[in-house]
Structure formats: structure tokens, C-alpha cells
Amino acid sequence: MQVRLFIIVFFTVSFISGCGKAPRPDGFPDIFPCKITITQGGQPLNDALVRLMPEGNAFQWTISGKTDANGVTNISTHTNYPGVPEGTFKVCVSKTEITPSQFPPPAKDAPFEDWETWRGKTNAEKRPKYNLVKPEYDDVRRTPHTITIVKGKNKAAFDVGEPIKEEIK
């Protein structure tokens, strides 16, 4: 009885641990860990989008991450794969804010029609949107930040200047 239970548990654990890792797409490159810290005016920048754009040639995979409360992100390739391929990349950073809606959302258990009405109201609102990082840091042609990824662990820190709040027109 104990041997059979051991075998069942062993195969169940083996099956579960083997699942969850999706196969990589065809042509997917080798990738290496990459941790980037973003500050603004010397303070950690929370909830910023960090994108790495390859210098020189086109690249078919999205490389990005979102910063945490400490301004740190572990960059992933193609969303699901932690790490970055070897090469030199421009570092693009953005953070935006949209004015909250004046219409509170319906209750979670509200009928579908209430949600549709709410969506219609919020979509029709004129709500200003703001850049919270200077736009030059999100422009691959103007950002001053680059990173070169090599085999092994990669780590870098970048500052995106003083805090701003500029309306996006």
C-alpha cells in the first residue's frame, strides 16, 4: 500500500512540476536574467513600464517589465520568459496617469446591462491623461539609456530625471 501511494505521489508531483512551462516559440533566443532599477529624481519609480529596444536590427520579441515599489523590474522576453537575449538595447521608460472617472463602477454582482451602461459613460468622458516621465525617456531615438546584455546575470540602474506631470494632447 505504501509503495503504491509513493508511486502515485511521485508521478503526480512530477507531472505537476513538468507542466506550466510552455514550450518556447520557434526561433526563440537564449535569454539571461536582467534586473533593472528605475529612479526618478533619485527616488524609486513605482509602476513604470520599462521596454528594451534592440539597437540596429529588428527584433520580433517584446522585451519589457513593470517596476515595483522599489523601482525594480525583472525584465522578460515575450511576456512569459524571464530574461533578455544577448545584445545592446535602448532602455525606454514610461509612466502615465489618467484622471479617474467621475462615474463609480457598479457592484461586482450587478447585471451585465449596468456594466455596459457604465462602460459607455466612462468611454464618453473627456479624462485628461498625463505623462509622469519625460517623453524623451520613452523614445528609442532620444533616450540616453542603453544596456548591453551578456551571458550570466545582468543588472543596471537608470534615473529618468525630475518628476513631471504633463498632459498628453
Tell whether pTM > 0.75: yes
- Extended beta strands in 1-95, E state: 34-40, 43-44, 49-54, 63-66, 72-74, 76-77, 81-82, 87-94
Q: Over the stretch 4-28, which tens digit does the pLDDT of each residue have?
A: 444 444 444 444 444 445 688 888 8
Domains, the chain, ranges and CATH?
Answer: 26-95+132-167 (2.60.40.10)
Amino acid identity at 143: T
Q: Over the stretch 115-158, which tens digit does the pLDDT of each residue have?
A: 999 999 999 999 999 999 999 999 999 999 999 999 999 999 99
Residue 71 and residue 35 in contact, taking contact as beta carbons nearer than 8 Å: no
